[in-house]
Amino acid sequence: MPLIETEALILRSYNLAEADKIVVFITRNEGVVRGVAKGAKRLKSRFGSGLEPFSKVKIEYFLKESSELVTIQRVELTSSSFTAASDPEFLRRFSYLSELLVLFSPPHDPNEKLYRMVNACIDAAAGDSANLDGIVLYFEIWLLRLSGFLQDWSTCGACLRTFDDADQAYLAADLSLICKGCCPGSHRDLMDARNRHLAASARRLSPRDFAQATVGLGDRIGYLSEIMKRSLSRAAGKDISAERSLAIKFM
């Protein structure tokens, strides 16, 4: 049974047996992993508070040949998000983002860029919880991008013409943008130049800078976030538009 040691972010945990928990975490080197933490429910558990959601830890676990579920050996807390995670709004938003992350990440599939993006979003939200909507939108855009679903939104997906600021564009079923000339008629998901620039700026900025740059743009952020949720739903093949309906069983 090989022992793996890596940095990780705890996403969530479930009660398993009398004293044990299942813990879902994203690692820097091994992608999303599910593991059993034996005795984690006991008051004096050897894991301490290292299994609280959104903690940053160093984690050691054994891989099992016969199961996707690993056995967690040791957890060392390097940074907690206890203060932020005590805010119900932070908890609700990041629980949704965690579930998205698990939905879009095949188990044990390393993606360091994704790991760093999630890490930076947690830091940005913990440091300044004033614009959680902006951070959620940032996360949604990047998850689509890193999962390979985000198209080039600077040109029309049908005629390949580069959009200028006067162009109205619409989201197509394959998540490309189509110019008005290529799709006459009425469409729901309008992406005007300001929306396109806003989505493009998430690709350039850190989550903290994006959140600061989008303060006061609540309606636009909400509209774009709805479009991203529909895009994520199409990419995942399931409806994730209602954040609370995203109840995924990990076991």
- Side-by-side strand order, sheet with 190-191: 177-179, 169-171, 190-191
Smallest separation (angstroms) from Zn ion to the CB of 178: 6
Query: CA–CA separation, 48 vs 78, rounded Å?
Result: 12
Smallest separation (angstroms) from Zn ion to the CB of 219: 27
Smallest separation (angstroms) from Zn ion to the CB of 183: 8
Smallest separation (angstroms) from Zn ion to the CB of 195: 17
Residue 5 or 167 having the CB closest to Zn ion = 167
Which residues from 14-73 bind Zn ion, rule CB under 5 A? none
Query: CA–CA separation, 168 vs 72, rounded Å?
Result: 52
Three-state DSSP class for residue 106 = coil
Smallest separation (angstroms) from Zn ion to the CB of 157: 8
Smallest separation (angstroms) from Zn ion to the CB of 196: 14
Residue 35 or 157 having the CB closest to Zn ion = 157
Phi, psi of 21 (to 5 degrees): -130, 155
Q: How far is residue 173 CA from its own chain's centroid? A: 22
Contacts of 114 (CB under 8 A, 6+ apart): 26, 101, 105, 142, 143, 146
Residue 11 or 156 having the CB closest to Zn ion = 156
Binding mask 120-159 for Zn ion (x = CB under 5 A): ------------------------------------x-xx
Which residue type, as a one-letter code, is found at position 168? Answer: Q
Residue 75 or 177 having the CB closest to Zn ion = 177
In 3D space, the residue among 203, 170, 199, 197 whose CA is nearest the CA of residue 185 turns out to be: 170
Binding mask 152-191 for Zn ion (x = CB under 5 A): ----x-xx-------------------x--x---------
Which residue type, as a one-letter code, is found at position 131? Answer: N
Residue 4 or 183 having the CB closest to Zn ion = 183
Query: CA–CA separation, 64 vs 2, rounded Å?
Result: 8
Residue 179 or 191 having the CB closest to Zn ion = 179
Q: How many residues bind Zn ion (CB under 5 A)?
A: 5
Residues paired with residue 155 on neighbouring β-strands, in sequence order: 162
What is the phi-psi region of residue 165: left when phi exceeds 0, alpha when psi lies from -120 to 50, beta otherwise?
A: alpha
Which residues lie near Zn ion (CB under 5 A)? 156, 158-159, 179, 182
